[in-house]
């Protein structure tokens, strides 16, 4: 059975060009980038070249890019490092209800240790209001952290407007751009951010490597101590192969960006419109907001998302649901709940996220299979059979 992958927001395959760029550093070029001999210098050169490519993707200075182990570390470093370094005894931070747990959990951990935390709501489409940000500001606010693109719905948040507010008030702004990189243009100047997190495996690079943009002059404490790499900000021997891969992936998405994102948008819209036309009683979450081109988040009431994911996997289609297994129980997505969905509707949601290798034929196959699977599962659903509810 040929398998169709519609789960690119979870992770992406490494592009062949990226793997080729990594191979020398996994084989003959094994030097430590901190060594002064020729092996070390070759490795150092690869790291610095990659830094230039990552910076170019963000319209940033290469000196302002710090390599990390991925999105989670970048976001934790930005939030924990900025709040620890901020002066003053009483401190306040602002975030949103739809952040990835990599951003929400460090904020919640800080709030347990006495930092004041405001979690802003979103509207029905999943958008944070810049006016709400303005209203939430306090004299002791030290950081605003709001994501650029949401991983579940794909909605793009008004970060440039929030950036303007943050600049006027002199407050640091971090954005989690993990799901934006490679999907929409990112410009740290236009966004007005001081800190921005990205992760290579979301745009055809390897897993376990990411970057944090740190605007010059931003005061951050380190999370780890033990060496001088990354300008004394992040110790440890650099993973040169992964860094070279991230650099190559950054270049790649820049060159193919306009063409590919439009092609993927057309495919996503074909899939979305086709499902809305073929399946009764379903809707797209976040459809009224600006969205990244590859993501579709659709609620099919009366079905458990997990059951849909398993049934579709058996037919060869990989996607994910709006629910996560936590402590053995299936919890509805906090993102969809923040949009105002009932828990049972949040659980009845599929996330289909497309990528570079998807084709029109795959979309058309999915348009045949998904409606059949939904019809079959709905027939088995006791609530759907009940006409009073249905
Ligand atoms: N932020 C968002 C929006 C994400 O979607 C993810 C991963 O799914 C992360 C952060 C975490 O990134 P990483 O997997 O590189 O740690």
Q: Please tell me the distance between residue 179's alpha carbon and the centre of ligand 1 in angstroms.
A: 7
Distance CA 234, CA 251 (A): 24
Q: Please tell me the distance between residue 200's alpha carbon and the centre of ligand 1 in angstroms.
A: 10
- Ligand 1, atom 9, lies closest to the CA of 71
* The pLDDT value given to residue 385: 62
Q: Torsion angle, CA of 191/197/201/203, rounded to 10 degrees?
A: 10
Is 282 one of the annotated active-site residues of the chain?
A: no
Give percent of the chain above pLDDT 90: 91
- Give the ligand 1 atom nearest the CA of 72: 16
- Ligand 1, atom 12, lies closest to the CA of 71
* The pLDDT value given to residue 363: 98
Cβ atoms 320, 333 nearer than 8 A = no
Cβ atoms 70, 206 nearer than 8 A = no
Ligand 1 site residues (CB inside 6 A) read 70-72, 75, 100, 102, 147, 151, 176, 178-179, 199, 210
- Give the ligand 1 atom nearest the CA of 200: 15
What ranges make up the beta strands (E) of 7-79?
65-68
Which residue from 7, 95, 146, 202 has its CB within 8 A of the most atoms of ligand 1, so it is best to mutate? 202
Q: Please tell me the distance between residue 355's alpha carbon and the centre of ligand 1 in angstroms.
A: 16
Distance CA 184, CA 177 (A): 10
Work out the angle between the directed axes of helices 240-278 and 16-26 (0-180°, nearest 10).
Answer: 160
Q: Give me the residues of the chain with pLDDT under 50, please.
A: 386-388, 390
Work out the angle between the directed axes of helices 101-112 and 71-85 (0-180°, nearest 10).
Answer: 30
Eight-class DSSP state of 15:
P
Distance CA 204, CA 16 (A): 9
- Give the ligand 1 atom nearest the CA of 10: 8
Q: Please tell me the distance between residue 39's alpha carbon and the centre of ligand 1 in angstroms.
A: 33
Q: Is 0.85 topped by the overall pTM?
A: yes
* pLDDT, tens digit (0-9, with 9 covering 90-100), for 41-86: 999 999 999 999 999 999 999 999 999 999 999 999 999 999 999 9
DSSP H helix total and E strand total for the chain? 13, 15
């Amino acid at each position: 059975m040929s398998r169709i992958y519609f789960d690119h927001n979870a992770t992406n395959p490494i592009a062949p060009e990226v793997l080729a760029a990594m191979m020398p550093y996994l084989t003959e070029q094994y030097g430590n980038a901190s060594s002064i001999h020729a092996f070390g210098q070759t490795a150092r050169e690869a790291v610095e070249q990659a830094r230039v490519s990552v910076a170019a993707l963000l319209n940033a200075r290469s000196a302002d890019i710090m390599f990390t182990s991925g999105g989670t570390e970048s976001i934790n470093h930005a939030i924990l490092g900025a709040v620890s370094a901020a002066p003053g005894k009483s401190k306040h931070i602002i975030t949103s209800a739809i952040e990835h747990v990599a951003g929400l959990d460090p904020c919640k951990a800080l709030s347990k240790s006495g930092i004041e935390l405001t979690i802003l709501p979103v509207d029905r489409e999943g958008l944070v209001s810049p006016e709400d940000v303005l209203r939430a500001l306090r004299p002791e606010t030290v950081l605003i952290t709001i994501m650029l693109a949401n991983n579940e719905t794909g909605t793009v948040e008004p970060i440039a407007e929030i950036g303007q507010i943050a600049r006027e008030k002199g407050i640091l702004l971090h954005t989690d751009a993990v799901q934006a990189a490679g999907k929409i243009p990112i410009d740290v100047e236009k966004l007005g951010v001081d800190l921005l997190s990205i992760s290579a495996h979301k745009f055809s690079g390897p897993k376990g490597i990411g970057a944090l943009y740190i605007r010059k002059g931003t005061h951050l404490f380190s999370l780890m101590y033990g060496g001088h790499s990354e300008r004394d900000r992040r110790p440890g021997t650099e993973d040169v192969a992964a860094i070279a891969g991230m650099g190559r992936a950054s270049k790649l998405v820049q060159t193919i960006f306009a063409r590919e994102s439009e092609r993927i948008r057309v495919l996503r819209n074909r899939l979305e419109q086709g499902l809305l036309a073929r399946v009764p009683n379903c809707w797209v979450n976040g459809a009224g907001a600006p969205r990244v081109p590859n993501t579709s988040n659709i609620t099919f009431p009366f079905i458990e998302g997990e059951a849909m994911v398993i049934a579709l996997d058996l037919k060869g289609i990989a996607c994910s649901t709006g629910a996560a297994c936590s402590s053995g129980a299936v919890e509805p997505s906090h993102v969809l709940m923040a949009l105002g969905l009932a828990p049972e509707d949040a659980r009845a949601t599929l996330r289909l996220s497309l990528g570079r290798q998807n084709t029109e034929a795959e979309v058309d196959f999915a348009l045949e299979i998904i409606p059949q699977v939904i019809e079959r599962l709905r027939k088995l659903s006791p609530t759907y059979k009940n006409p009073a509810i249905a």
